[in-house]
Structure 1
């Protein structure tokens, strides 16, 4: 009984918090897209990770960059307020980002990619090089080797049962050690806050597991990193259990990317927030 009361209180608070963001909507060739657009200055668009949405995107940008930047945080396909098209590929997501920039009148932007948002962000930089000032890869996956679906090992998305409000609430409340192991670091409460409610994110999470997270493997030929002309900054922890540093190290050498590499911190680069923010600021100031 007490547990049910706590759940009802917590999930109600999560929906209230979630619905309190000031969002905007546009129509793209793939349907509706919801996004947050705040601030002035150099434009920075983020391609958010799994369990994300405009709230995770915006909060990530707020934690990475100062107020003197224009922060653009769209929900990717199937995430809160954004439609799920027939073909929700990273390539089409990149084109939807282009639609957004066109309607906002933004000629060039910096792109930050995080985790599951890597494929669509990297695809944007490859497909639309004239619209990019710089690429910032934060705990991101990168093209590595060609694989078939059968050759891809391990889970590419969360268990289905977890992608519902009560199981996610219960897991974050009482089994936080599971997420600690998954991310390779302590999890700040603000991270959990952007994972709940999970139900409005369900379609996007499922597509990430089925399509997004394997696209750079099975369609490796569509991610020619030699076509990336924009300056690149890599931010990564060597002990990240979700996006292996070995792959990123290879990418850095192939692209001559700038980098800020941390020995510890896991997938969230925990404990190095100030260093991450400073590296991003320095990169943007150097490029512009």
Structure 2
């Protein structure tokens, strides 16, 4: 019995590192296969993916994201329709982290990217931590915003003093490759609880590799995710001129529905609200896609 246990331990000790190395190679290869382009913004080099044709939709992705997660999210929501543009926000794969990685500066980069691509106006779609930059874009560039779509997005809640705000990001061990990889293999039920959703394979894949995302994750935890409460006055969302679509689940444990209700009261947007589905809106992909398609068609 003891020898059997030792043999099993040895097999695990050998196979786990081999599996890790193989999975990480695939993760970096997947990232490269998006064929991201780069352009020089006033804040440094930025990377983006650009696919399709028709009405332009620019996504402001969430934490642990990048052009890969952004493009995967857009394809999941609008399929092969429309021109899909996924920029890596500050500090995410291929994009520089500037000295001031604020949502307002990120919005400026969105506008610079539109100039680079010769696009006058766009729909902008935000998920999760991407909400602050998308709201900033809609407020700062109303003439370039055809519509704003918020999907499980963060929104302003209440003005809070700095002393009451703490970093809003993942545990530090998950900012390293091996712990994050191991977590996706062995702690999937924990992630499901954390997101309040069934986390699918594609989403897990776009969280790896971690190394080219780490600076962006840290910036989101310490700056982006705090900005709407710390600088509440910079988000007069009732002044947004573009049509707004809000898609959210009441049981979202990350972007709380209480905040969404306040936002709805201030902006009077179109809404698609689900009783359940969590942060990733599990089980509602068809309804989400249909709502976004209808919104784009109506406001194009």
Distance 1:231 1:185 in 2: 28
Cα shift readout 1:192-238 (whole Å, capped 9, x = no counterpart): 00001111100000000010000000000000112201000000000
Residue number in structure 1 paired with 2:89: 76
1:204 aligns with 2:216: yes
Give SS of 1:19's match: helix
CA distance in 2: counterparts of 1:14 and 1:67, whole angstroms:
23
1:1-288 matched pairs, under 5 angstroms: 1-152=14-165, 156-288=168-300
The CA distance in 1 between the partners of 2:289 and 2:86, in whole Å, is 17
Is 14-23 or 229-238 further displaced after alignment? 14-23
CA-CA distance at 1:67 after TM superposition: 2.1
**Secondary structure in 1 aligned to 2:279?**
helix
SS at match of 1:260: strand
Aligned to 2:9: none
Q: C-alpha distance in 2, partners of 1:207/1:8?
A: 27
Unaligned runs of 5+ in 2: 1-13
SS of the equivalent of 2:160 reads coil
CA distance in 2, matches of 1:163, 1:157: 10
Q: What is the deviation of 1:3?
A: 1.0
TM-score normalised per structure 2: 0.94
Q: How many pairs were matched up?
A: 287
Give me the CA root mean square deviation. 0.9
TM-score, normalised with respect to structure 1: 0.98
Q: Which stretches of structure 1, 4 residues or longer, exceed 3 Å deviation after superposition?
A: none
Measure, in 2, the Cα distance between the counterparts of 1:49 and 1:226: 23
Moved more, 117-126 or 8-17: 8-17
1:28/1:286 CA distance change after superposition, 3 Å: same
2: CA distance between counterparts of 1:172 and 1:68? Answer: 31
Q: Residue 186 and residue 68 in structure 1: after superposition, are their counterparts in 2 closer, same or farther (change >3 A)?
A: closer
- Greater C-alpha Rg: 2
Secondary structure, counterpart of 1:268 in structure 2: coil
Unaligned segments of structure 1, at least 5 residues = none
Change (3 A) 1:166 1:259: same
